[in-house]
Amino acid sequence: MSIECYAQRLLNPFRGAVHVIRHASAEAVTTDGVHWDIYVSNDALRRDLPQDCAVQTNDIRYGSWSADKGLKRGPINLYEDFLAMEAMGAQVYAHLLELHAQVPFAYADQYELWLLDRDQQPLALLASACNIQDVAREPATARWQAGFAARERFRSTAMGEDAAGAAADHLTAYVNALAGPTPTVQWFHRQPDGSGLGLASSKDALAGRGLPAGAFPRFVLAEQGHDARHRRLIEDYHAWLAPWLLLLPGLNTQTRAVLERQARAQAQEVMRQHRLYPRVVDQAQINAALVEAMLVSSQAKREREDNALSTFYIELNPGVGEYL
């Protein structure tokens, strides 16, 4: 059986990408290029079933791996199906050791599910798929969301000094209102030139249509057709997403340079994601973010160690608390 190495976006909300090394029913996955998890599916449950029959299969966690810590095995059970899955996990682990340094992989999720606006044009990206078999007519949700992390950390000049979560909540409500009271969604097969062939939709009349590349937003949300305040809100949201948007291939030099400058505001996220960036325009920007992230991490580690030592000292000397 062949080895597949590919990437797929994590969407709704967009929070980066998963990179996969897959062999048969086993796969090793990473979201940072450093820490890998290995899973194996029990494909024996699919035998003798029709190809279009959906079935929930069991997964086992073969283990986790990183270059510095090596392999940490998952739980081991001695039953027949497990032993077969165990052997498959061992095979994908061997491929992981050989291929892990080749990340980032090419993106394979060429099928995209879009929430449409009232004019039936792409408004917000909801999901993606790597295979036509994964294109579902009825999506899990027809509602776009900014995400929990955005509620905690995203701020926008368009919202002034509002409380935490206000910008994300307002953006979520605004985007979904643009879709109308009965939202329409549609899958598209994106072509190499950026155009899209319309597939399954919640409106049958839309299936089979083609849209040019310019009809699709460059990132997650449509940036045109808004009043000044909401356009700024969306631009600020995309700027906040910069550490993750830099994972995307196909960005032109100017766009990537802007995102690299914007990503400097979230050095810790750059630290987590930078190994999976397909290219870097201004290495100095990325290096500065990495240095800042390392300094912050070192300071946090020292504070944790100092706090632990203080607690230990007080426990050994109960009376010392009277003087602190």
Print the SS3 string covering 30-59. ECCCCCEEEEEECHHHHCCCCCCCCCCCCE
Query: Among residues of the chain, what percentage have pLDDT more than 70?
Result: 83
Backbone CA torsion sign across 74, 75, 77, 81: negative
Same domain for 166 and 128, yes or no, is yes
Last residue of a domain, one of 201, 230, 259: 230
Tens of pLDDT along 116-129? 999 999 999 999 99
Same domain for 18 and 92, yes or no, is yes
Burial of 52 (0-12, 13-18, 19+ CB in 10 A): exposed
Residues spanned by the domain of 91? 3-102
Last residue of a domain, one of 81, 102, 123: 102
Last residue of a domain, one of 230, 252, 281: 230
C-alpha 305/C-alpha 300 separation (Å) is 9
Tens of pLDDT along 220-246? 999 999 999 999 999 999 999 999 999
The CA–CA distances, whole Å, from 265 to 154, 219, 276 equal: 11, 19, 19
Same domain for 130 and 215, yes or no, is yes
Tens of pLDDT along 75-111? 776 666 677 788 889 999 999 999 999 999 999 999 9
- For the chain, the domain total comes to 3
Is 280 part of a structural domain of the chain?
Answer: yes
Is 180 part of a structural domain of the chain?
Answer: yes
Is 236 part of a structural domain of the chain?
Answer: no
- The whole-number pLDDT of residue 151 equals 94
Same domain for 98 and 119, yes or no, is no
Is 13 part of a structural domain of the chain?
Answer: yes
- The whole-number pLDDT of residue 84 equals 77
Average pLDDT across the chain, whole number: 87
Same domain for 24 and 132, yes or no, is no
- The whole-number pLDDT of residue 307 equals 65
pTM: 0.86
Same domain for 85 and 185, yes or no, is no
- The whole-number pLDDT of residue 76 equals 72
Tens of pLDDT along 283-308? 999 999 999 999 987 776 666 665 65
pLDDT classification of 54: cutoffs 50, 70, 90 = very low
Same domain for 185 and 219, yes or no, is yes
Same domain for 81 and 149, yes or no, is no
Task: Mention every residue, 6+ apart, whose C-beta is less than 8 A from residue 267.
Answer: 289, 290, 292, 293, 296
Same domain for 252 and 218, yes or no, is no
Is 126 part of a structural domain of the chain?
Answer: yes
Residue pair 11/128 in contact by the 8 Å Cβ criterion: yes
Same domain for 225 and 245, yes or no, is no
Same domain for 151 and 207, yes or no, is yes
Is 278 part of a structural domain of the chain?
Answer: yes
Same domain for 256 and 317, yes or no, is yes
Residue pair 187/112 in contact by the 8 Å Cβ criterion: yes
Is 235 part of a structural domain of the chain?
Answer: no
Is 166 part of a structural domain of the chain?
Answer: yes
> What residue type is 238 in one-letter code?
H
